Amino acid sequence: MLMGTHQTTTAKRRPAVEARAWEFATRTEVFGYAEISAEIMISMEAATDLVRGWEAEGRVRVRRGGGGASRKMFELTPEYREPKDRAGQIGQQIWTAMRGLRTFTPVDLASHCRADLKVDLREASSFCQSLLKAGYLRVSKTAVPGQREATYQLVRNTGPRAPRERRITVVWDPNEGDFAYIPGMAPRKGGAR
């Protein structure tokens, strides 16, 4: 991003900016001032002001950090969390942890998720495998069965929103040995028939 591209937050624009920031916070669930600033394209000072206001109102609370050199990360308080699909929440929590850690294992990622999600090792490992196959992660230490699990490093940090695995509808052409994507086609409910 180019320097100086942040928008100024005037009194007239503040309600719209705050609404966009709150929508991002409810979608992301764990965030810092920098994530709000980058997503809404406002200054760090304006993002800090918004988040501190939410904290004073009891809408968010400090999840971790704030002492010494560590930055504060916030989460929504339980009464302000909007219900979402569990898989999306887990993916977002794991993605946020990946972005903050230099190297990590699935156990590290599961331990950084909200306690009420009860993320197990299988879910964290599955998310890592999906992102590894898609080129977002690389293995920095291979697993040794029965002794240690694989250690990963994020190599493709595309922003605060978590990448998600999707199933798409395609047409298979046996003449060319290739698939053709069908734009706008939603997958059928209940899987393939």
Contact (CB, 8 A) for 54 and 38: no
- Range of lowest pLDDT (127-131, 143-147, 177-181): 177-181
Q: What is the pLDDT of residues 148-161, one digit of tens each?
A: 999 999 999 988 77
Q: What is the mean pLDDT of the chain?
A: 83
Question: 88 by DSSP, 3-state: which?
Answer: helix
Quick one: pLDDT at residue 187? 52
Exposure class string for 142-162: b at 16+ Cβ within 10 A, else e: eeeeeeebbebebeeeeebeb
CA gap 40, 18 in Å, rounded: 9
Higher local confidence (pLDDT), 29 or 137: 137
Q: Which residues, at least 6 apart from 110, have a Cβ–Cβ distance to it below 8 Å?
A: 94, 119, 120, 121, 123, 124
Q: Is the pLDDT of residue 26 over 50?
A: yes
